[in-house]
């Protein structure tokens, strides 16, 4: 879902690492940390589909991308969960600016929640991010969602979520990620992930979310300008989920 806990769609490459990429630059950074967009050496656009349960309507479709300008990097995202009976959707725009080893990012999103024949509510969601490259191997990221404590309903104030994490690359082939997720006034939880590049055009990933006892796996295939990712996770109550994405990449340098 979009507005439930994470407020955003999780792309397949990020999902393979248990959505622990707050400090890892990728084309999905428009979702995970807008500041990280400025660290990416490629621009592009991606589309994806995530199926959570074998139940009609329990799926999310997403579209995202970024483009680098002289003044900074802009990003867009759009995703929708559900069907005509019930849906959660959002459209967002982000901007980031990198100065030396530090980048700052902001994002604004329009959220919509609708139940056919009963209600339709909208609100604006604000986000802020920081990414710092401590050295060539280690990044530290911060991403705060819902700075203004926006609400869809009077009785439902959407929580402010603080994400803090690390991305460590001990070599060009291995990347370890960790992320602490803290919904303000709720219990924090941590996620861990890793990605291993077997060959220049093939990578595998895995991750764990101890809070819900979920284990994630993923595979990525680079086909020149295109990147295909598939990820799944095991959940003790919901079984397997499936997440696929296709991204078009273009160097921005």
What six digits make up the tokens of 200?
Answer: 């220049």
| Region 209-219 average pLDDT | 93
What is the model's pTM?
0.90
Split at pLDDT 50, 70, 90, the class of 3 is very low
- Three-state DSSP class for residue 228: strand
Indicate whether 200 belongs to any domain.
Answer: yes
Q: Say how many C-beta atoms besides its own lie within 10 A of residue 239's C-beta.
A: 11
pLDDT band at 54 (very low <50, low <70, confident <90, very high): low
Distance of CA 240 to the CA centre of its chain: 19
The predicted structure's pLDDT at residue 5: 38
Strands 138-145 and 239-251: unpaired
Residue with tokens 């979520």: 161
Q: Is-contact 230 244, C-beta < 8 A? A: yes
| Structural domain contains residue 198 | yes
For residue 1, is it within any domain?
no
Instruction: Tell me whether residue 77 is in a domain.
Output: yes
Look up the domain containing 133 and give its range. Answer: 12-251
Q: Is residue 5 one of the residues assigned to a domain?
A: no
Distance, CA of 111 to CA of 104 (rounded, Å)? 23
Q: Is residue 4 part of a domain?
A: no
**CATH number of residue 19's parent domain:** 2.40.160.40
pLDDT above 70 coverage of the chain, percent: 92
| Number of separate domains in the chain | 1
Both tokens assigned to 84? 């005509």
Average pLDDT, the chain: 89
Contacts of 55 (CB under 8 A, 6+ apart): none
List beta partners, residue 110: 91, 124
């Amino acid at each position: 879902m979009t507005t439930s806990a994470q407020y955003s769609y999780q792309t397949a490459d990020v999902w393979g690492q248990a959505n622990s990429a707050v400090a890892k630059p990728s084309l999905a950074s428009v979702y995970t940390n807008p500041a990280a967009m400025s660290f990416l050496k490629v621009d592009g656009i991606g589309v994806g589909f995530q199926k959570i349960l074998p139940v009609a309507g329990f799926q999310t479709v997403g579209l995202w991308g970024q483009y680098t300008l002289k003044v900074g990097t802009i990003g867009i995202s759009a995703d929708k969960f559900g069907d005509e009976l019930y849906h959660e959707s959002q459209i967002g725009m982000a901007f980031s600016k990198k100065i030396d080893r530090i980048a700052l990012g902001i994002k604004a999103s329009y959220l919509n929640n609708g139940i056919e024949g009963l209600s339709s509510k909208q609100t604006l969601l604000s986000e802020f991010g920081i990414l710092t490259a401590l050295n060539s191997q280690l990044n530290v990221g911060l991403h705060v969602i819902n700075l203004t404590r926006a609400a869809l309903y009077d009785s439902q104030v959407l929580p402010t979520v603080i994400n803090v994490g690390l991305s460590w690359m001990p070599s060009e082939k291995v990347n370890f990620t960790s992320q602490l997720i803290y919904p303000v006034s709720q219990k924090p939880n941590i996620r861990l992930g890793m990605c291993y590049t077997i060959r220049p055009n093939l990578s595998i990933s895995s991750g764990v979310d101890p809070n819900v006892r979920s284990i994630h796996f993923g595979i990525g295939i680079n086909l020149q300008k295109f990147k295909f990712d598939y990820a799944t996770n095991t959940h003790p109550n919901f079984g397997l989920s499936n997440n696929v994405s296709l991204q078009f990449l273009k160097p921005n340098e």
